Amino acid sequence: MPYPNAMPSTYPSEASAPPPLDCARHAVFLDFDGTLVEIAPRPDAILVPTDLPARLAALSDACAGALAVVSGRSLPELAGYLPGFAGLMVGSHGAEARGMAPPLGDSPSGLAMLQNDLAAFAASKGLLYEEKTHGGALHYRQRPEAADEVAAFAADLAAQTPGFAVQPAKMAMELRPAGVSKDRALSALWALPVFAGRIPVFLGDDTTDEPALDWAGTQGGFGIKIGTGDSCAGYRLPDPEAVRDWLAAAQGVSWGV
């Protein structure tokens, strides 16, 4: 059955709700922040539903293991938020992985200096710096007027540090290893036997998720955009609560908070 991979639209006037999740046929790939949990003013201030790890574990079992969390967060941090979920997990936009060979071995040289420069810039401008395993991010949610300055600094730093690239995100600019992306991570996951014969479904909310949303469509599946904004995804859900409800409906249960 083909699924639409629509041209960019704006939620909700041109959006449609996704079809029900079919644990026997679908392969489920889930972003974390903004998809499974609400975005918070600070990355360390998110509220994770207490039953989320157990529910993900049960859903993974229902899908015979064909479920993976694919996030921009570092893998150790992501695992720390989901204790009890032992399923497939990808961190740092695809640079780290659990359950398959890591897509990236070592970070490009210059990582420590890059992280120092990011931290110093954030401190001097009143921004939030988030260190990651293979890079770092500058968050300007508290200072939206600094967007252009942050973007210019990130671009200059990437140009001076071979092997790294700028990754724009919601109210943030991240420096990550060049060549790393969520769609490439999905391609690597897709080669695992557990996904054979299934229909890929990717859920994500950010610009960092667009390549993965598109990838799902090109592989005969579909993407689900969470929230507002232009997207290549053919389907929409309004927020993480709706995502959790959509996932729970496949098992006939309701997820708590």
Residue pair 223/204 in contact (Cβ under 8 Å)? The answer is: yes
> DSSP string spanning the chain?
-----PPP--TTTT--PPPPP-TTTEEEEE--BTTTB---SSGGG----TTHHHHHHHHHHHTTT-EEEE-SS-HHHHHHHSTT--SEEEEGGGTEEESS--S--SPPTTHHHHHHHHHHHHHHHT-EEEEETTEEEEE-TT-GGGHHHHHHHHHHHHHHSTTEEEEEETTEEEEEETT--HHHHHHHHHTSGGGTT-EEEEEE-SGGGHHHHHHHHHTTSEEEEESSS--S-SEEESSHHHHHHHHHHTTT-----
Residue pair 28/222 in contact (Cβ under 8 Å)? The answer is: no
Name the one residue in this structure whose structure tokens are 């897509």: 103
Longest pairwise C-alpha distance within the chain: 54
Q: What are phi and psi of 70, to 5 degrees?
A: -125, 110
Any catalytic annotation for residue 31? yes
Look up residue 233 and give its amino acid. A
Beta strand pairing call for 26-30 and 67-70 = parallel
Active-site entry in 31, 33, 183, 206: 31
Active site residues: 31
